[in-house]
Structure 1
Amino acid sequence: MPIPPTSPGVDRGLLRDDVYRRLRDAIVDGTFTPGEQLRDLELAAWLGVSRTPVREALLRLAHSGLVLARPGRSTVVSPLDVRAVRDARDVVAAMHELAVREAVPVLTEADLAAMRDANRRFAAAVDSGNVESALRIDDELHGVLVRISGNRALATVLEQFTPTVRRAERLRFGSLRGRASVTRHDELIRLCAAGDVEGAAAVAYDTWHSLPSAGA
């Protein structure tokens, strides 16, 4: 085949998304602490990218409430605000409830097996005090239902507001309270397997809505 005259280059959309995820995760896991100033030039050097995707990522993080961008001044990591966490928690809980309602009628045995396996690994992570793994596997478990729902708008809302909830949730999975999530997951999976849409939706909502707010 003829060689194209120009190189396709790096997908700029993928680059922007990767920079956003790296900065988002660094805020959620505490690498960047509340009140810390974020300078786009320093962040660009750290990530090995230009300043443009960093600036775009900081704008997205501002919309999610993870940073405070003050035009002409500085951009800092947002404090863990009680009201912001509660608002985000309510939205995230409602979205997961909706995901369950849309997913349960079409779940397969393979989907349920994936959720059961995730919960076993989640329990092990909680017991060992591995907060990072617990959060990642929790996303994996609930992500089965989000994916099966096929609702892209729902997934977009969760991507925006879940990081705010996760900052507070780290406190939960780092304590004995994380064991309660294992039990809730078991009940959620049981109800999903039984085709109990209402019951499973209620458990999904309660699972997320029971998360502690900042300072709790």
Structure 2
Amino acid sequence: MPVPSTQPAAERKLLRDTVQDKIRAAIMDGTLEPGERLNDDDLIAWLGVSRTPIREALAELARAGLIEMAPNRYTRVAAPTKDELLDAYRTLGVIYGGVVRLAVPRFTAAQRKKIVAVLDDVAARVDGEHMDDVAREGSDIYAMWVEACGNASLAQLCRATTDGLAFKLRVPELTELVPADVVRPEIDKLRAAVLAQDPIAAELAMEAIHLLPTRSAD
């Protein structure tokens, strides 16, 4: 029996991924706003592709938490709420505590220098009461740690979940629920741990930044 060709499926997957990347970028940069309805015909006109890869891409983005879908009712950009923020923020801390612990000993000198510069920038923004700016760029900041962690399974988990979790931080109540006076000292500790190449201290600092408990109650 002739072996069926898999080339069309591979091409379709590649097209879906391209469409997904474009829609994701439009959501993350605010071109597509929270709660905005997504119409198939409008997306077809914008992206210049057929309905199938668009629906596949939207389904993937829904799994990532960036899109909300209700059959025969609506497809829309997710709209983060205050009630979701702390759960999402702490989940990022659980994931990225482990990422940081793996990444810190593996950093090249160039990667370490880049991370320290980013942490200095984040600290300056927190001092300047611009936590919302940090939240908007959260996915890119987290991605730098993933690049060096050396764990393919963990990196895949991060790629699948970080965008949706970081997007949930984009609410006006961020500074109320994530106090700068709690976060700011831990950023300094994370910076110092990176320079000292201390993975345990770095993990604890990342977890504390994300408001995870650091010790048992007395």
- Shared fold, TM over 0.5: yes
Q: What per-residue deviation string (whole Å, max 9, x for no partner) do you get for residues 62-115 of structure 1?
A: 212322222233212333245544443333211111111212222232221111
Per the alignment, residue 119 of structure 1 pairs with 119
Per the alignment, residue 49 of structure 2 pairs with 49
1:199 lines up with 2:201 in the alignment: yes
Change (3 A) 1:142 1:28: closer
Return 25-34 or 91-100, whichever deviates more.
25-34
Aligned residue identity for 1:90:
R
**TM superposition shift of 1:171:** 4.5
**TM superposition shift of 1:180:** 7.2
Change (3 A) 1:110 1:182: farther
Aligned residue identity for 2:207:
Y
* In structure 2, distance between residues paired with 1:191 and 1:142: 17
Q: Say if 1:36 and 1:76, in contact at 8 Å, map to a contact too.
A: yes
The SS at the match of 1:88 is: helix
Q: What per-residue deviation string (whole Å, max 9, x for no partner) do you get for residues 22-79 of structure 1?
A: 3223334444344432112211212233322211111012212322222233212333
Per the alignment, residue 101 of structure 1 pairs with 101
Change (3 A) 1:85 1:121: closer
Change (3 A) 1:98 1:55: same
Change (3 A) 1:195 1:133: closer
**TM superposition shift of 1:190:** 0.9
**TM superposition shift of 1:203:** 1.1
C-alpha RMSD over aligned residues: 3.6
| Equivalent pairs, count | 200
The SS at the match of 2:210 is: helix
Per the alignment, residue 157 of structure 1 pairs with 157
Q: Say if 2:131 and 2:175, in contact at 8 Å, map to a contact too.
A: no
* In structure 2, distance between residues paired with 1:142 and 1:173: 21
Q: Say if 2:89 and 2:166, in contact at 8 Å, map to a contact too.
A: no
Gaps of 5+ in 2: 1-9, 213-218
Matches within 5 A, 1:1-216: 13-82=13-82, 84-122=84-122, 127=128, 135-136=136-137, 139-171=139-171, 184-209=186-211
The SS at the match of 1:69 is: strand
* In structure 1, distance between residues paired with 2:160 and 2:86: 14
| Identical amino acids, percent of aligned pairs | 32
Q: Say if 2:135 and 2:170, in contact at 8 Å, map to a contact too.
A: no
